[in-house]
């Protein structure tokens, strides 16, 4: 029965007399290299999305310049529903805030389609830091301004922006130590060379569980099952800090509303299929499938927040 329903859905999404092999492929442009969470999300989505839409789906990695190269290519593509970009908090939040000369406008050049997944973040400290919880951490920072350091994957990255947002909302001061990539940054926090890291839960969780890192707060709408004793930022009245990272889909501007809605509905179904949901969960990703207008509002909110953060920290990469 389930197989007949899937075949029926695929057939209705094709033009009369057109087979899957004859249908024009949908290209998902991933603006980052293969192997990362953005790429994994796109590849987990590609097979069920192809089945539900009744057309081939191709993942195309166009990495470089913090995601700007791939996003610029999507912006210049025809608004025919055959090219979509995998947007992230970097491409549609951080980049517009820290680069004055982007090769795309995150609002004018795109039509929001849907948020695919959310990724909870976590504030972690090296276990040797003499703090047991968030309150003690703030007390330590207030008593030792400038003594604590935080690592990031580099200037203008999400980790950098989360760190500066934390400083602005808590009125504390930590010294930023930028690295060339998330791996070296996390390794030095684990090793104790740097005290603090603003990370996604998935990459820090094994080290939290081993006792090398201590989690103090998470960005989520409730406490996570894997970290039940760690409060959310919202519980700590730091609501601006409580937004998780995310990946979504955008289409070129002027893409037809009917096309956008059709893709959004297929994505919402795809990310809730058990196999897809489990694959994403293994990467610390939670399915979303939000409506286009909801995703558009979310993008505008993130741009505004990151612009305020960049002004606070005087971050400009041009």
Q: What are the residue ranges spanned by the domains of the chain?
A: 2-119+244-313, 121-241
Tell whether the model's pLDDT for residue 303 goes beyond 70.
yes
Which listed CATH number (3.20.20.70, 3.50.50.60, 3.40.190.150, 2.160.20.70) goes with 2-119+244-313?
A: 3.40.190.150
Phi (first) and psi of residue 38, to 5 degrees: -65, -45
Q: Do domains 2-119+244-313 and 121-241 have the same CATH topology?
A: yes
Tell whether the model's pLDDT for residue 1 goes beyond 50.
no
What does pTM read for this prediction? 0.86
Average pLDDT, the chain: 92
In our burial notation (b when 16+ CB lie closer than 10 A, e otherwise), range 14-48 reads: eeeeeeeeebeebbbbbbbeeeebbbbbbbbbbeb
Length of the chain: 318
- For 121-241, CATH gives 3.40.190.10
Residues 6+ apart with CB under 8 A from 59: 28, 30, 39, 42, 43, 46
Start-to-end C-alpha separation, the chain: 57
Confidence of residue 136 (pLDDT cuts 50, 70, 90): very high
Tell whether the model's pLDDT for residue 22 goes beyond 50.
yes
Residues 6+ apart with CB under 8 A from 179: 151, 152, 153, 154, 185, 188
Structure tokens belonging to residue 94 = 């951080």
Q: How far is CA 99 from CA 122, 146, 164, 247, 298, in A?
A: 26, 27, 16, 20, 20
| The pLDDT of residue 100 | 86
Phi (first) and psi of residue 80, to 5 degrees: -105, 5
Confidence of residue 181 (pLDDT cuts 50, 70, 90): confident
């Amino acid at each position: 029965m389930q197989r007949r329903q899937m075949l029926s859905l695929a057939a209705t999404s094709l033009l009369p007399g057109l087979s899957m092999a004859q249908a024009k492929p949908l290209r998902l442009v991933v603006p980052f290299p293969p192997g990362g969470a953005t790429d994994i999300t796109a590849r987990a989505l590609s097979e069920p999305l192809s089945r539900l839409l009744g057309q081939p789906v191709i993942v195309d990695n166009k990495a470089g310049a913090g995601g700007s190269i791939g996003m610029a290519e999507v912006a210049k593509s025809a608004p025919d529903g055959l090219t979509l970009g995998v947007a992230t908090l970097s491409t549609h939040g951080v980049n517009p805030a820290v680069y004055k000369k982007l090769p795309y406008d995150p609002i004018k050049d795109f039509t929001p389609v849907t948020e695919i997944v959310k990724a909870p973040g976590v504030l972690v400290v090296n276990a040797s830091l003499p703090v047991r919880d968030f309150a003690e951490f703030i007390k330590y920072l207030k008593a030792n301004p400038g003594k604590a350091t935080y690592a990031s994957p580099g200037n203008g990255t999400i980790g950098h922006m989360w760190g500066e947002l934390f400083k602005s909302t808590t009125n504390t001061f930590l010294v930023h130590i930028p690295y060339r990539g998330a791996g070296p940054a996390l390794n030095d926090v684990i090793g104790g060379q740097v005290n603090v890291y603003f990370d996604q839960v998935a990459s820090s969780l094994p080290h939290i569980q081993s006792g090398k890192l201590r989690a103090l707060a998470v960005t989520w709408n409730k406490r996570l099952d894997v970290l039940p004793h760690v409060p959310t930022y919202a519980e700590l009245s730091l609501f601006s800090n409580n937004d998780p990272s995310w990946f979504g889909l955008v289409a070129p501007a002027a893409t037809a509303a009917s096309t956008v809605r059709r893709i959004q509905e297929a994505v919402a179904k795809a990310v809730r299929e058990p196999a897809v949901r489990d694959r994403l969960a293994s990467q610390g990703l939670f399915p979303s499938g939000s409506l286009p207008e909801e995703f558009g509002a979310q993008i505008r909110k993130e741009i505004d927040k990151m612009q305020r953060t960049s002004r606070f920290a005087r971050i400009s990469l041009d």
